Structure 1
Amino acid sequence: MKTRIKNILREKPVGQPVALAGWVRTRRDTGSFSFIEINDGSCLANLQILADEKLSNYASDIKQLSTGSSVMVAGVLQKSPAKGQDVELQASQLTVIGTADPETYPLQKKRHSFEFLRELAHLRPRTNALGAVSRVRSRLSYAVHQFFQERDFVQVHTPIITTSDCEGAGEMFIVSTGQEKNKAEHFFGRSAGLTVSGQLQAEVYALALGDVYTFGPTFRAENSNTSRHLSEFWMLEPEMAFCDLQGNMAIATEMLKYLLNDAMSNCPEDMQLFDKFIEKGLLDKLRGVVEKEFAHITYSEAVDRLEKAKKDFVYPVKWGLDLQSEHERYLSEEVFQCPLIVTDYPASIKPFYMRVNDDKKTVAAMDILVPGIGEIVGGSQREERYDVLEARMIEAGIELADYAWYMDLRRYGSVPHSGFGLGFERLVQFVTGMANIREVIAFPRAPGSAPC
């Protein structure tokens, strides 16, 4: 059975036989020896293979190896006299599995721009930075489940195909067979689309099981071709019964600290790469989020601070307008210099399901803002009162009959409940320091672009 390089470098079983497989990064020949560095994707580091002319295929195969070739190697691990590495593998057998033409293989031993790599979605995971992103993303995904399972949340797989528009923005991809001629022929009996959120369905299960979460792909047909937007992205959406806004903020804060700490603890080499080459000071920024108390102000207080700021913003600041990324970053980076929770937004700019406050003008909503990115979590206490929810839906122009099931949740055993959404790619972007969100998802989908 082959061993992963990550485990070899961790355990360093010097003098023991080892078998592994991977892809060639470099080959250097010296006299009757070849020094071959291979990587198997398990970690950032390569392992040096020492192959000599005593191997039967040394001249025919090994000396022809080029970057990108795949190999299987067996041998004995030994201490390395070279600087920068503790061990190397003395090969007793090296089999070439697949070759890579050096004239056409596009990933050579040099730094490539992320824009260039975006055009090679099928090969870019082989690079140091994108491989590190993949490992950190995987670890964060694991930590998400670990966090909620430790707290007795039940995972719910909410539908990807939905007949309800949670955000009410109409930015949904319509699902169609292409054969329908009229409403009577809809495949699902009515118009359906790809989900923008699993929240409404998660509420169904929260009001039966208590605390639940859904974590999966969501879609938005928004024609935004920017470094912050994707058409397909993953959302984490916990929903808690018998929970008000304060409890909602507490679990969101605890979760963020948990996830950031987990990534730094379990992916140290990858995180150091991001800190050194992608965003200087990244680790200090993340430690600040983990260690500091989150500040808390209301939306009205935030607007007041922004209006008094001695700074020119691109977007206007006025009570009743949504905060933009530049406003959010200014507040978290320059005013409070720490993570910030903003609550009690105007009802007019928030979805129908958010609980109306006693002032009748604002809702029990909250956004968590972090330095370097702005909003990373958005949530609210849900409106549990039937009459208030009905009035909000009518005001928003929502067809009540289409949401009869949602209204039933308020007719039969309604309770205070709340939840939030975390855009997973935005979290990965924050943790890795990547400037463009397309670098933190394996196959980015955006207007005009759907590689692989």
Structure 2
Amino acid sequence: MSQFSVKELLGTEPASQQVVINGWVKAFRSNRFIALNDGSTINNLQCVVDYENFDEEIIKEISVGAALKVTGSLVESQGKGQKVEILVGAVEIHGAADPETYPIQPKKHSLEFLREKAHLRVRTNTFSAVMRLRSALAFAIHDYFNKNGFYYMHAPIVTGSDAEGAGEMFRVTTLDAKNPPLTEEGDVNYKKDFFGKETNLTVSGQLEAEAYAMGLGKVYTFGPTFRAENSNTSRHLAEFWMIEPEMAFYDLDMNMDLAEDFIKSVIQYVLENCDDDLEFLEKRLLDEEKTKPQAERSELSLKDKLRFVVDNNFKRVSYTEAIDILRNSKPNKKKKFEYPIDEWGADLQSEHERFLVEKHFKCPVILFDYPAKIKAFYMRLNEDGKTVRAMDVLFPGIGEIVGGSQREERLEVLKEKMEQLHIEEEELWWYLDLRKFGTAVHSGFGLGFERLVLFVTGMGNIRDVIPFPRTPQNAEF
């Protein structure tokens, strides 16, 4: 007899056919009605037990959290809310769950409590919906790039360079922490280390992806990245996933075109393929919004927010124009911004980005041509000598979601910028080689995957959109 998933059976026409289903008990009412779920859908399958024909000892082992194998007839449901149900013929207990100690009971649990039970939280409706959406988004990303002629490139996780220049990196070493070898000057002698030099976990695969774009044309990375930023905010993780496409022969305008099309495509995919999970999370978000003061409530439902991105053309605005808009805005003049905008050159904060998207333009925004001083060394310098060909994509509710640029392809200009920022040429000799041998205009961008999942699911904390979050003082599980 074939085994089916809950999702398959819920979409099957009932004809009293014999079926086998496995899953975990979500609820057991009146020693008769089992709500079974196997993770394939947000919806449960009702299994109806004829109590009189069952071993009482088996009935006693059926409790919330228990794993069961159920055999029975698939029939039209007699109750409301579901099309089909199973009349149970036999139950096999794969694994019982002590109702006194099983922590995921059918009641509302706080997200903070569930983070402490990260190994079990995926059994809740909220986290199963979030993780199915995360999986769907990952598929949509790979599918988009595959259909558009990109090659998937695995950038190294262990690196000797700091792509972002931030210095907040996790060191990788095999040296004895209590007694490391020292140089004559008393410094740690990394020549004795495994790689013969100081190495770290990567913060970005961009530089390596640039190298491969200059041979394969269009590539993308999609992998884990790490940042040792001692931040406990709802937007930061120490370990997170990045999507980083790099394209040879692309200028900034082509880069912006790609970013817009890419984001719209992957969000459209989940709108078309993940309706049940989106419906559940939309209702969850609506209930959460009701607890907030009126002024803090979102004007858009979850799916409306997603359609806001898909259905609108992204407004392209220079940094200089954006600064003028912000400087003259009511929130700035009335000192409502936490970070007032006084002069050109300010690094925009989330509150500024959201104002531009939600209040001023009322559509997603792409800002471009930022001051060179607030952007990375590898971004192409404009002819004015003070701005670079950078671009950021801004979304409602979240601010910046994508950051990218046209890369600096001119050797001498790049060397001069590295010298100004005290970046040693010896450290990135291979990166400079790309400008010596067949250099060309090229561009790329980075999308933090968890930020995208955060936006699509409507969750409020980035720790709740990754299976096992890594944050300061927390590497449990």
Aligned positions of 1:335-374 closer than 5 A: 335-374=360-399
Alignment counterpart, residue 340 of structure 2, candidates 309, 316, 329: 316
Alignment counterpart, residue 196 of structure 1, candidates 196, 203, 208: 203
Amino acid at match of 1:245: L
Structure-2 residue corresponding to 1:24: 25
SS at structure 1 position matched to 2:260:
helix
Q: Does 1:4 align with 2:5?
A: yes
CA RMSD, 1 decimal: 1.1
Aligned positions of 1:259-298 closer than 5 A: 259-279=266-286, 281-298=301-318
CA distance in 1, matches of 2:14, 2:378: 58
Structure-2 residue corresponding to 1:169: 166
CA distance in 1, matches of 2:386, 2:307: 37
Amino acid at match of 1:172: M
Aligned positions of 1:118-129 closer than 5 A: 118-129=115-126
Kept in 2, the 8 Å contact 1:55–1:93? The answer is no
Amino acid at match of 1:256: I
Kept in 2, the 8 Å contact 1:238–1:420? The answer is yes
Structure-2 residue corresponding to 1:300: 320
The Cα of 1:18 is off from its aligned counterpart by: 1.2
Q: Does 1:443 align with 2:468?
A: yes
Alignment counterpart, residue 388 of structure 1, candidates 407, 410, 413: 413
User: TM-score, with normalisation over the residues of structure 1?
Assistant: 0.97
Q: Does 1:145 align with 2:142?
A: yes
Structure-1 residue corresponding to 2:292: none
Structure-2 residue corresponding to 1:61: 58
Kept in 2, the 8 Å contact 1:14–1:87? The answer is no
Structure-2 residue corresponding to 1:117: 114
Q: Does 1:217 align with 2:224?
A: yes
CA distance in 2, matches of 1:295, 1:425: 24
SS at structure 1 position matched to 2:246:
strand
CA distance in 2, matches of 1:418, 1:15: 59
Amino acid at match of 1:304: D
The Cα of 1:13 is off from its aligned counterpart by: 4.3
Alignment counterpart, residue 417 of structure 1, candidates 434, 442, 462: 442
The Cα of 1:55 is off from its aligned counterpart by: 4.2
Kept in 2, the 8 Å contact 1:174–1:194? The answer is yes
CA distance in 2, matches of 1:304, 1:14: 67
Query: Unpaired segments of 5 or more residues in structure 2?
Result: 182-188, 287-299
CA distance in 2, matches of 1:328, 1:52: 59
Kept in 2, the 8 Å contact 1:426–1:437? The answer is yes
Kept in 2, the 8 Å contact 1:356–1:363? The answer is yes
The Cα of 1:283 is off from its aligned counterpart by: 0.5
Runs (4+) off by over 6 Å: none
Structure-1 residue corresponding to 2:48: 50
For 1:188-230, what per-residue CA distance to the aligned partner results, in whole angstroms no more than 9, with x for missing partners?
Answer: 1111000000000000100000000000000000011100000
Query: Unpaired segments of 5 or more residues in structure 1?
Result: none
The Cα of 1:14 is off from its aligned counterpart by: 3.2
Structure 1 range deviating more: 424-433 or 183-192: 183-192
Amino acid at match of 1:224: S
SS at structure 2 position matched to 1:387:
helix
Amino acid at match of 1:36: I
SS at structure 1 position matched to 2:20:
strand
Structure-1 residue corresponding to 2:296: none
SS at structure 2 position matched to 1:369:
strand
